[in-house]
Amino acid sequence: MIAMAFLLNSFLVFGQGAITPNWVMYSILGVLIVSGLSALVGLTGKLIEMEGQKHGIQLQHEGWFTKLLNQFTGETKSSNHHKLSRGFDILLNGGISDYTIVARPVSRVALKPQNFVGISPIPKVVVEVGQNVKAGDEIYHDKKHPEIKYTSPVSGEILEVRRGEKRAISEIVILADKDQVYRKFSVPSADADRAALVNFLCETGAWTWINERPFDIVPHVETTPKNIFISTFDSAPLAPDNNLVVAGQEADFQGGLNVLARLTSGKVYLGLDGSKKTQLSPAFTAASNVEIHYFSGKHPAGNVGVQIHHIAPITGSDKVWTMNVQDVIALGKLFRTGEVNRRRVVAITGNEVKKAQYVSTYCGASIAELTQDNVQSGNIRFVSGDVLSGKQVAADGFMNEGDDQLTVVTEGDFYELFGWLLPISPRPSVSGTYPNRFFPNMKFDANTNTHGDKRAFVVTGQYEEVLPMDIYPQQLFKAILSQDVEQMEGLGINELSEEDVALCEFVCTSKQPLQQLLREGLDYMRTEA
Amino acid sequence: MGLLQFLKRIEPDKKKNPLLHTAYDAFFTFAYTPNRVNKGGVHIRDGMDLKRLMVHVVLAMQLCYLFGTYNIGHQHFVAAGQYLGFLDGFHLKLAHGLIKMLPMFVVTHVVGLGIEFLFAAKKGHEVEEGFLVTGALIPLIMPPDLPLWILAIAVAFAVVFGKEAFGGTGMNIWNIALLTRVFVFFAYPGEISGDSCWVSGYDSLAAGSTAEYGWWHTGFFNSIFGAFGWPQFAAAKTMVVDGFSGATPLALAYQGGMEAIQQHYTMDQIFWGGIPGSIGETNKPFIILGALFLIFTRVASWRIMAGMVLGVGVTGMLFNAWGFNAFMMVPWYYHYVLGSFLFAMAFMATDPVTASGTNKGKWIYGFFIGVVGLVVRVLNPAYPEGWMLAILFMNSFAPLIDYFIVQSNIKKRTSRV
C-alpha cells in the first residue's frame, strides 16, 4: 500500500513535470491497483475461511488469480464438475438414429488372449477341441499367473484353437449353444474378507474384466488399487450411448459398483457426461457408494484416463483400476445370480454399414454374423472399437475383449490427384484449411487413407490442443524415442493409455504412429519397473 | 486415371538410380497423394499433411509476391523521377519487377531444391517439404538488386549447414530463410545494408547515373511494348534524380526520429507500401491479410504473433518513457508498421520447427523476439532492422524455454503425492 501511495505520488509529480505520463505509467499503476485490491480480497477470503474452520465449516476458497489462470489454461474446476476446453469431436456418418436394441445371438464367439497386455504368447489352454464348456468354465490361464482364470463367455463346444505367428494363440473359437447353460458359483457373503472376494473373482474370470493403470494390464492378485474409476460415457466417434445400455439393468450396475467399492482402499469414482445433451440414466446420476464427477467437453472428455487425471491423478507407484460400464453390470449380475453372463450390447456403426444399430450379443462375437447382410460390398475395414483407438479385425474374425462398438469404414487405398492441395472431398480436420471450417456440424464419410506421408515432428503444440491433460505429449514422445525413463515418468506416461493419445495421432501433421509409440514406452517402463 | 497408369509405368528403379527415383517420387507424391492406409493405430487421419501445411503458408504470401514484384519496378522509376504515381507506367514497372524477381526465385529453388534432392537420394528418404516455404520466403526478404551468385551461395550455405547438417526438415535449430539472409548480411554487407541497395537497376544512386538494362529489357520487353505502341524502357532517359536517397523509413528514423520519416514519407505510404525495402515486406495490409489467413486456417501459431505484438508494445512504451533520443520518441504504436515487423511476425517467427515447442513457451518466445527485435532496431546503429537477428537469437533460446517449461511440469508431477 505504501509503495502504491509512493507511486501514485510520483505519478502525479510526473504529470505536472516535464515528462508526460504515458501508457507505461498507466499500466504499472493499473497492475498495482489490481494486485493491491486482490491482496485485500484474498486476505478477506482467508480470514473468512479461518473463521469458518473455527465453526467447523469447510469453505472452498480459490483466489481470483487461480481462477483466471484456469480460465486461461482452459480448465475450470469446481468440486465435481470439470469443463474441458481442449479436444476435438470427429463427426462421422454412420451413427445410430434408432434407439432400440436388436437381439443377435451369434453362433460363434472367440476368446483372444492377445487382447490382454503382457500375457505370454502361448497361454495354457485347459480345454480341448470338441470339448463342451459352460459359461464361466475356465478356458485358459497365463502360465505366470495360473490363479487368474480366463473363462468362457458362453456355453458350447470348443471349435478350434487358432494360432498366429510363432504358434502364439490368437483365437479360441467356441460354438455357442442356442440355450445357454451357466456354471453356478457360490457367491461370497456380503461380509466376506478381501481374500475370499479376490478368489471368487479369479475363479469366475471376472478378475480379468478389471483393467489396471498404468500399463492397461490385468492386475496382480495382491494389488489393492488406490481408487477405481468408471467412465459412464464414451465421447469417441460414433460411440454407443451407455444410458441406453444400462436401461433395465440399473440394479445390477449398482450391485457391481458395490462390489468394486469393497475392493479398493480409496473410492470408486463415476465419470458422467456433464454436457447436458442427453438424458442421463438414473443408474448413473443416482448411483450410491461412489463419488460422482461430471465432465463436459469434446472428445476425449469421456476417456477414463482424462477423468482420472482431473479427479485424482496417478502419482508415483499408484495403481488404479478401471472397468467399463457393461462389465460393471456383468459383475453385479455375477454377484446376484452366481452366473457368468457376458451378454453385451454392441453398437454397429460406420459409413459402410447399411443400417447402424445396437445389437445384443456375446462378448467376442463373430464379425461375419454380427454384420450379416448389413454392410456394403467393396473395400471395407472392420474395426473392433472406435475409429481412433479400435483394432482392425478381419471380416471372418471376432470382436475384441470388452469392446462395445464395431465400426465399418471405407478402406482408403486409392490415389488422389493433388489430394494434398485440393479439397476434392470433404474430410475431418482440426486445421482450418478445408471449406468445412465454415460448417462445424458437417459429418463425413471416413476412409482409412493416411492423407500424406510420415515425416519428422514439425508442427508443435497441435497435440496439446486436443489432449485435455496437463501433459506435454510431444516432449513425452521424444522422451520415449530416446528411452529416457525418468523423463517419461516425469512427463506423465503413467497417466496415459493408447486411447488418450489417439486423437493426437489423428491430428498429427507428420503422420506419426503415436499409439504404437506410447505402447512401446509403456512396455519399456513395465520391463524397467 | 490415364495419368496415374502412365506415371506408374515410368517409375525408375530405386536401386539402380536412386537420384532419379527420388526425383520421381517427389514428383509423383506431388501429383498424387499415395494410397497408403493406416495400420496399427488410428484408422482415420486428419486431411492435413506437411505438404498441405506448407502450401498454405506459401499461399498466404502470394499477395506479398504480387506487390513486391511490382514495387521493385515502382522504386526503379521513382528514383528516376518518372511515373511517380503508383499505377503509372504499369507495364514497365511490372516488367522490370519480373526481370528482377523471377531469376531470384529460380536460383533460390534450383540451388535449394537441388541440394534437398541430393541429400534425400543419399539418405534414401523421400524429399521433404520444408523447402517449399523456405524457398518462397527467401526472395521476399532480399534486396531487389542482390547479385544472383551471392544468393546462390547463401542458399547453399543455409540449406547445407543450417538444415541438412542437422538431419533435414524438422531438425534444424535456426530458421533457414533467415540463415540465408544473415549469411548475406555478414558476408556481403554492402549488398544488403545502407540506402542504395533497395532500389534496383542502377549502378549507384548518385544523381545522374543511368539505368542499366539488359536484353530482357531492351530486347524482349521493348519489342513487345513497341508492338503495342506503349512506352518502352529507355536507359539514356532514365537517370537518378537529384536528391533521391533511397533511404528506408527506419534509416531515417535513426537519423531524426519521427520528423525525419515524415519529411520523406507519409504514414499512408509506410502502411500501404510503395517505399524502398526488402521485396516482400513493404505492403502491410497484404501481410496482415496473410497473417489472418494463417491464423484462421490454424497453420501458424497465433500465440507467437500475439507474444510479439505484446513484446514490441511493452518495449516501445518503455523507450517512449525513457525518451533518450529521437528514435526512442517514435510513438510505440508506429513500430508495428515501420520496417518488417509484420512480415517477421507472420512468416518468420511462426516457423514451428525453430520456435518453442510448447504452447506456453510460444508466448515467451514471441514476447522476447518483440523485445530483442525492437532493442536492436532502436538502440543499435549498425543494424537498422532487428527481426532477423532477434528471431535467430530466440531460435537458439527456444529449446531452453521449452526445457524450463517441461522441467516445471515434471516437478509439478513428481511433487504431487
Q: pLDDT tens across A185-212, in order? A: 999 988 889 999 999 999 999 999 999 9
Question: Nearest Cβ partner of A434 from B32, B47, B353?
Answer: B47
- Mean pLDDT along residues B362-387: 91
Cβ within 8 Å of B, A 92-151:
92
Say which residue, A439 or B279, is predicted with more confidence.
B279
Q: Measured between CA atoms, how close is A315 to chain B, in angstroms?
A: 6
3-state SS class at A335: helix
User: Would you give the distance in Å from CA A514 to the centre of its chain?
Assistant: 16
Kindly tell me if the per-residue pLDDT of B309 is higher than 90.
Answer: yes
In the block, cell 504480387 appears at B66
Q: Which residue has the cell 503382457?
A: A118
3-state secondary structure of A481: helix
What's the pLDDT at A18? 40
Please indicate whether residue B375 or residue B28 has the higher confidence score (pLDDT).
B375
Q: Which amino acid is at A458?
A: V
For helices A473-481 and A514-528, the axis angle rounded to 10 degrees is: 60
**Residue among A425, A420, A463 at smallest CA distance from A443:** A425
B204: number of Cβ within 10 Å = 9
Instruction: Kindly state the percentage of chain A with pLDDT values over 90.
Output: 67
Q: Supply the pLDDT for residue B203.
A: 84
- Phi/psi region, residue B293 (left: phi>0; alpha: psi -120 to 50; beta: rest), is alpha
Pairing verdict, β A145-151 and A138-142: antiparallel
Give the three-state DSSP class for A111: strand
Pairing of the two strands A124-125 and A138-142: antiparallel
Contacts of B301 in chain A (CB under 8 A): 460-461
On chain A, the residues whose CB falls within 8 A of the CB of B303 are 461
- pLDDT tens by residue, B319-361: 999 888 888 888 999 999 998 999 999 999 999 999 999 999 9
In Å, how far is B30's CA from the nearest CA of chain A? 7
| Nearest chain A CA: its distance from B112 CA (Å) | 19
- Is residue A66's pLDDT more than 80? no
Q: Using 50, 70 and 90 to split pLDDT, how confident is the model at A149?
A: very high
CB spacing of B409 vs A470 below 8 angstroms? yes
| CA A253/CA A244 separation, integer angstroms | 13
Report how many Cβ contacts below 8 Å link chain A to chain B: 230
Q: Calculate the average pLDDT of chain B.
A: 90
| Rounded mean pLDDT, A481-489 | 93
How far, in Å, CA of A264 to CA of B32, rounded? 55
pLDDT at residue A50, as a whole number: 66
pLDDT at residue B247 is higher than 60: yes
Q: How far is B51 from chain A (nearest CA, A)?
A: 6
Per-residue pLDDT band at A14 (split at 50, 70, 90) = very low
- Cell numbers for A426: 470433404
Give the model's pLDDT for residue A6. Answer: 46
The amino acid at B68: G
Contacts of B134 in chain A (CB under 8 A): none
Interchain proximity B318–A434, CB inside 8 Å:
no
Say which of A90, A430, A460 has its CB closest to residue B298: A430
B125 at A interface, C-beta within 8 A = no
Torsion, CA B354, CA B356, CA B357, CA B360, rounded to 10:
-160
For A514, which of B41, B51, B56 is closest by C-beta distance? B41
Q: A400, A144 in Cβ contact below 8 A?
A: no
- Give the mean model confidence (pLDDT) for residues A40-50: 72
Q: How far is CA A295 from the centre of its chain?
A: 13
Is the link from the previous residue into A300 a cis peptide, with omega within 30 of 0? yes
Q: Taking a contact as any Cβ pair under 8 Å apart, which residues of chain B between 60 and 119 contact chain A?
A: none
pLDDT score, position A195: 92
Q: Rounded to a whole number, what is the distance in Å from the CA of B362 to chain A's nearest CA?
A: 9
From A181, A176, A179, A137, select the one nearest A156 (Cα to Cα). Answer: A176
Query: Residue B250 corresponds to which amino acid?
Result: L
| Record: contact B51-A452, CB cut-off 8 A | yes
Q: Alpha-carbon distance A477 to B39, whole Å? A: 19
pLDDT interval class at B284 (50, 70, 90): very high
Confidence band (pLDDT; 50, 70, 90) for A71? Answer: low
Exposure string of A414-430, with b = 16+ CB inside 10 Å and e = fewer, is bbbeebbbeeeeebbbb
Q: Please report which helix (H) or strand (E) contains residue A347, including its range.
A: strand A343-349
Q: What are phi and psi of B286, to 5 degrees?
A: -65, -35
> Residue B33 is nearest to which of A388, A419, A505, comparing CB atoms?
A419
Q: How far apart are CA B287 and CA B62, in angstroms?
A: 10
Which residue, A188, A245, A209, is CA-closest to A136? A209
Q: Choosing among A406, A459, A470, which should be mutated to test the B contact, i.e. which has the most B CBs within 10 A?
A: A459
Helices A304-311 and A498-507 sit at what angle, rounded to 10 degrees?
Answer: 110
User: Which uninterrupted H or E stretch holds B412?
Assistant: helix B387-414
CA A117 to CA B384: how far, in whole Å?
62
Whether the per-residue pLDDT at A292 is higher than 70: the answer is yes
A401, A440 contact by CB (below 8 A): no
A272 DSSP β-pair partners: A294
> Which of A27, A388, A516 is opposite residue B40, by nearest beta carbon?
A516
**DSSP for A385-414?**
S-TTT-EEE-TTSBPPTT--EEEEEE----
Q: What is the torsion angle, in degrees rounded to the nearest 10, for the CA atoms of residue B90, residue B95, residue B100 and residue B101?
A: 80
Q: Cβ(B328)–Cβ(B320) under 8 Å?
A: yes
What pTM was estimated for this model as a whole? 0.87
Residue whose entry in the numeric block shows the C-alpha cell 493409455? A497
Q: What is the pLDDT of residue A17?
A: 38
Residue B281 in contact with partner chain A when CB distance is under 8 A: no
Residue A321 parent element (H or E):
strand A320-322
Extract the C-alpha cell encoding B389: 537477428
User: pLDDT band at A16, cuts 50/70/90?
Assistant: very low
Q: How far is CA A175 from the centre of its chain?
A: 31
Best of B43, B322, B330, B374 to disrupt the A interface by mutation (most A CBs within 10 Å)? B43
B:170-199 residues touching chain A, CB 8 A cutoff:
170-171
B36 touches chain A (CB under 8 A): yes
Bridge partner list, A301:
none
Q: What is the end-to-end Cα distance of chain A in Å, rounded?
A: 54
pLDDT in tens, B176-234: 999 999 999 999 988 888 888 889 988 888 888 888 898 999 999 999 999 999 999 98
d(CA A311, CA A229): 9
Confirm if A361 and A344 have CB atoms less than 8 A apart: yes
CB pair distance less than 8 Å for A429 and B47 = yes
Mutate to test the interface with A, among B33, B171, B365, B374 (most CBs of A within 10 A): B33
Alpha helices in B229-383 (DSSP H): 249-264, 267-272, 284-296, 302-322, 341-343, 359-379
String of DSSP letters for B80-102: TT-S-STTTTHHHHHHHHHHHHH
Is the confidence at residue A28, as pLDDT, over 80? Answer: no
Looking at residue A442, its pLDDT comes to 87
Hey, are the CB atoms on A388 and B42 less than 8 Å from each other?
yes
For B170, name the nearest residue in chain A, comparing CA atoms only. Answer: A458
> Residue A7's pLDDT band (boundaries 50, 70, 90)?
very low
> DSSP for B168-228?
STTT-SS-HHHHHHHHHHHHSGGGTSSSGGGS-SBS--STTPBB---HIIIIIIHHHHHHH
From CA B17, how far away is CA A45, in angstroms rounded?
A: 75
Which of A51-60, B97-106, B199-208: highest mean pLDDT?
Answer: B97-106
Residues 6+ apart with CB under 8 A from B176: B130, B131, B134, B158, B159, B162, B163
* Residue A266, min C-alpha distance to chain B (Å): 15
Predicted confidence band of residue A73 (pLDDT cuts 50, 70, 90): low
Q: Could you say which DSSP state residue B61 is in?
A: T
The three cell numbers of residue B386 are 532487428
Grid coordinates representing B354 are 525453430
pLDDT band (50, 70, 90) for residue A75: low
Which amino acid, one-letter code, is at B69? T
Q: Is A496 on the interface with B (CB under 8 A)?
A: no
Share of residues in chain A with pLDDT > 70 (%): 89
Between CA B334 and CA B266 the distance in angstroms is 12
Backbone phi, then psi, for A170, in 5-degree steps?
-95, -40
Determine the pLDDT at residue A69: 55
- pLDDT value at A61 more than 70: no
The closest CB to that of A451, out of B45, B355, B358, belongs to B45
Q: Looking at chain A, which residue has its C-alpha nearest residue B50?
A: A509
A16: CB partners within 8 A, 6+ apart: none
Measured between alpha carbons, how far is residue A519 from residues A6, A214, A447, A477, A525 in Å? 60, 11, 24, 11, 10
Q: Would the pLDDT of A509 be above 90?
A: yes
Cell of B236: 539514356
> A407: which chain B residues are within 8 Å (Cβ-Cβ)?
43
To the nearest 10 degrees (0 to 180), the angle between helices B176-187 and B148-157 is: 130
